Amino acid sequence: MKNYLYSLRFLFSIHIAGLLLLSLFRLILFFRGTANLGDESGEYLLQSEAFLRGLWFDNVVACYILLLPLAVASISAWFGYYGARLYRGLTIFMGIMYGITFAISASDIPYFEYFFKHLNASIFNWMGYGETTLKMMFGEPAYRWPIFFFVVAVAIFSVFLRRMRKLTVASFEKNRFRSWKSVGGIVVLTALTLWACMFGIRGRMGYNPIRVSAAYYCNNTFLNQLGINPTFNLLRSTLESTKKENKSLRLMNEQEAIENVREFLAIEESFPDISPIARTINADTSFVRKNVVLVLMESMSGKFMERYGDKRGLTPFLDSLAGQATCFDRFYSAGTHTNHGLYATLYGYPAMMKKNLMKGAVIPFYTGLPRILQENGYRTLFFMTHESQYDNMNGFLRSNGYDEIYAQENYPSEKVVNSFGVQDDFLYEYAIPVLTERSASVQPFFATLLSISNHPPYIIPPYFKPHSKETEEQIVEYADWSLRKFMDEASRQPWYENTIFVFLADHGKLVGSPKSDMPLTYHHIPLIIYEPGQSPCKSEVLGGQIDVGPTILGMLGISYINNMFGIDLFRQNRSCILFTSDDAVGCMDRDYFYIYRPGDEQEWLFKVQDGEEGSAVTNDTIRNKLRNYAFSVLQTAQSIIDNEETGKYKGYVPK
């Protein structure tokens, strides 16, 4: 047992030494990037949190390195083997692995300074230019310092490894008697240490393992990224790049697609230094400093509402509100997943098939609705029911215009009912006092609330009494009841009269029998915009989630550069709307619905009757028009994303 403890001392001493040196690389990056601190330059406690989060990520990488040596040393200990050759092999293995990790950390310093992002899978594009890359690394004086730091770190670590190995081997007692009690203790300790190592690799106890999002904790982009371990980031982005769903779309000629989209959006003058679709929007009214509350309702298909034909009385509040507000009756979700709905609604880009564009290890920057409102003096808040790391939301949203994020970590543990966190009524109840507190400032607020209850596993709280018998119907009733409760409480707040309320679903749901390979009930969703005291209005304008941002900005009278695919539904009309569903592309005009499956190149065309799929038809002219629209929008979006043109300008990084 004593020898095994010496073995553990050897391994964990190396582990700690590795963490210290990785922290040293982070400290070097910090001092070389102090110009990026901005208003946080004197906030030492805030800065220190970046290092603590960095240690967290470093430990994940270090535990990956530790796992194999720990398993080998432990199994050898079961048989009483502590040979010098074994520990020489373990030393060499850990030396090589940490050497690679230090090399990545050193290389990351100049890379980050140049690109303002950590090493990622894009570096493998340089493999074909090996000679040029080496000349750049060794020819640029600024890159020589990181090489020097790497050499010093490897030298220090090598000396430490050698001394620890000699000390450990010398400490082992030869031919020591081993009792069954001792062997049992080794087995128990092995289980505990391996469990601790596996937990370190996972990074956290929550529903999701650690993601890049965990490094994000404040509104300073540099400090948020400082905590990310470069090796972790490189491995994550490389794994993501190999997934089939993350491959770039190739549907048509890129330049032809861009020209088509510019025509669809009636773009005559644009900003090519930003993107091919960036255009100026000049408000035709004065700036109205109203608060905005945007509620994204989980899976709230329009087919649940009496307004669209349902007779079960599931959504009495939404139906009542739609009759008092501006209701867009021909409105569609961008995709069939929450991340698609968030991405399209907040940032004005279409869902790109299976891709989750919020989840990458390298977080892109967008000038969508939150950022534009933030730049016009708004305080931006996001409330979700679940863990903030889910779908990388914390990192993505903080990087793209949100000042405050409220998630499961902020709520009492007894309010968490399942893996998706708290229920809708508690989320709304929690948000009200936060918004009331923010309203005391002269600064208007933009709050986004993302509900969850209408998502399995369904939990009906005991204090809610539905009239339906089926659980899937009861949960819709509960979601509607929670919205009524929220609006009743909001109406008693001082900020209510000066607030625009926007209600829409993140996506729909299959209601009834499917009528096509891409059921429209998954995409037809309500868009209800309510201002206290307004006259009701029914709109038959064709629209989608990508139009929400421009429409709200138009209501507020804000002039801006629109780098989104959406339009202001109060001032413009669209001929078609595009949406996707993992492996299928859908496109509609007022009379027809086109479906295309890229995987097997199948396509269908349906007549639209009462907002639903009607009979299948053959009309090459209509089919080609809708296909050209869908392909053009998706290909242009892919081009802009690939060329990093989604921000205020190419290479834009918010400070």
Which tokens sit at 66? 């530790």
For the segment 390-406, the average pLDDT, to the nearest whole number, is: 94
Q: Are residues 512 and 597 in the same domain?
A: yes
- Residues 6+ away with beta carbon under 8 Å from 246: 240, 355, 360
User: What is the tens place of the pLDDT at every residue in 603-630?
Assistant: 999 999 888 899 999 999 999 999 999 9
Return the DSSP state at 394: H
Residue 309, φ and ψ in degrees, nearest 5: 110, -10
What local confidence, expressed as pLDDT, does residue 381 receive?
Answer: 99
Higher pLDDT, 651 or 363: 363
Q: Are residues 395 and 423 in the same domain?
A: yes
The CA distance from 46 to 460, in Å, is: 40
The CA distance from 190 to 176, in Å, is: 19
Which tokens sit at 145? 């310092």
Q: Are residues 224 and 308 in the same domain?
A: no
User: Position of tokens 């819709």?
Assistant: 476
Q: Are residues 257 and 116 in the same domain?
A: no
Closest to 352 in 3D by CA, of 111, 126, 27, 636: 636
Known binding residue 507? Answer is yes
Average model confidence (pLDDT) across the chain: 92
Q: Are residues 250 and 226 in the same domain?
A: no
Q: In the predicted model, is pLDDT for residue 143 greater than 80?
A: no
Closest to 104 in 3D by CA, of 21, 44, 204: 21
Does the residue 653 lie in any domain?
no
Three-state secondary structure call for residue 595: strand
For the segment 550-559, the average pLDDT, to the nearest whole number, is: 98
Out of 326, 338, 380, 636, which one is annotated catalytic? 338
Instruction: Quickly list DSSP for 313-367.
Output: ---HHHHHHHTTSEEEEEEE-S-SSHHHHHHHHHH-----TT--TT--SS-----
Q: In the predicted model, is pLDDT for residue 131 greater than 70?
A: no
Three-state secondary structure call for residue 81: coil
State how many domains the chain has.
2
The CA distance from 207 to 418, in Å, is: 10
For the segment 204-218, the average pLDDT, to the nearest whole number, is: 87
User: What is the tens place of the pLDDT at every residue in 69-115?
Assistant: 999 999 999 888 999 999 999 999 999 999 999 999 999 998 888 77
What local confidence, expressed as pLDDT, does residue 423 receive?
Answer: 97
Looking at residue 653, its amino acid is: V
Residue 325, φ and ψ in degrees, nearest 5: -120, -170
- Angle made by CA atoms 276, 279, 283, in degrees to the nearest 5: 165
Q: Are residues 232 and 287 in the same domain?
A: no
Last residue of a domain, one of 197, 224, 242: 242
Instruction: Please state the length of the chain.
Output: 655
Does the residue 472 lie in any domain?
yes
The CA distance from 235 to 237, in Å, is: 6
Q: Domain containing 84: what range?
A: 2-242
Q: How confident is the model at residue 137 (pLDDT cuts 50, 70, 90)?
A: low
CA distances 607 to 236, 564, 579, 595, 623, Å, are: 44, 29, 17, 12, 11
What local confidence, expressed as pLDDT, does residue 177 receive?
Answer: 57
Q: Are residues 204 and 234 in the same domain?
A: yes
Q: In the predicted model, is pLDDT for residue 129 greater than 70?
A: no
What local confidence, expressed as pLDDT, does residue 132 receive?
Answer: 52
The CA distance from 153 to 159, in Å, is: 10
The CA distance from 503 to 516, in Å, is: 27
Residue 257 in contact with residue 635, Cβ under 8 Å? yes
What local confidence, expressed as pLDDT, does residue 35 receive?
Answer: 86
Known binding residue 15? Answer is no
Residue 166, φ and ψ in degrees, nearest 5: -65, -45
User: Position of tokens 């009690």?
Assistant: 181
Does the residue 654 lie in any domain?
no
Looking at residue 42, its amino acid is: G
Last residue of a domain, one of 189, 212, 242: 242
The CA distance from 643 to 310, in Å, is: 45
Instruction: Quickly list DSSP for 240-265.
Output: HHHSGGGSPP--S-HHHHHHHHHHHT
Q: Are residues 224 and 272 in the same domain?
A: no
| Percentage with pLDDT > 70 across the chain | 96
Last residue of a domain, one of 222, 242, 262: 242
Which tokens sit at 416? 């968490």
**Domain of residue 605, CATH code:** 3.40.720.10
- Residues 6+ away with beta carbon under 8 Å from 275: 563, 640, 643, 645, 646, 650
Three-state secondary structure call for residue 596: strand
What local confidence, expressed as pLDDT, does residue 229 receive?
Answer: 96
The CA distance from 223 to 217, in Å, is: 8
- Residues 6+ away with beta carbon under 8 Å from 262: 270, 276, 277
Does the residue 647 lie in any domain?
no
Known binding residue 455? Answer is yes
Q: Are residues 335 and 217 in the same domain?
A: no
The CA distance from 231 to 58, in Å, is: 9
- Angle made by CA atoms 129, 134, 140, in degrees to the nearest 5: 125
The CA distance from 52 to 74, in Å, is: 30
What local confidence, expressed as pLDDT, does residue 251 receive?
Answer: 93
Q: Are residues 233 and 259 in the same domain?
A: no
Known binding residue 337? Answer is no
Q: Are residues 157 and 281 in the same domain?
A: no
Residue 609's DSSP bridge partners are 612
Does the residue 152 lie in any domain?
yes
Would you call 34 a catalytic residue per the annotation?
no
Could you count the other beta carbons within 10 Å of the beta carbon of residue 53? Answer: 20
The CA distance from 433 to 445, in Å, is: 13
Q: Are residues 248 and 111 in the same domain?
A: no
Looking at residue 614, its amino acid is: G
* Helix or strand run (H / E) with residue 605: strand 602-609
For the segment 7-24, the average pLDDT, to the nearest whole number, is: 97
Three-state secondary structure call for residue 282: coil
Instruction: Quickly list DSSP for 465-522.
Output: --S-SSHHHHHHHHHHHHHHHHHHHHTTSTTGGGEEEEEEES-----SS--SSS-GGG
Does the residue 394 lie in any domain?
yes
Higher pLDDT, 177 or 256: 256
Does the residue 97 lie in any domain?
yes
User: What is the tens place of the pLDDT at every residue in 333-352?
Assistant: 999 999 999 999 999 999 99
Which tokens sit at 633? 């929008």
Known binding residue 329? Answer is no
What local confidence, expressed as pLDDT, does residue 528 receive?
Answer: 98
Does the residue 313 lie in any domain?
yes
Q: How confident is the model at residue 139 (pLDDT cuts 50, 70, 90)?
A: low
CA distances 194 to 96, 199, 203, 364, Å, are: 21, 8, 14, 36
What local confidence, expressed as pLDDT, does residue 178 receive?
Answer: 66
Which tokens sit at 172? 């082992």
The CA distance from 293 to 287, in Å, is: 17
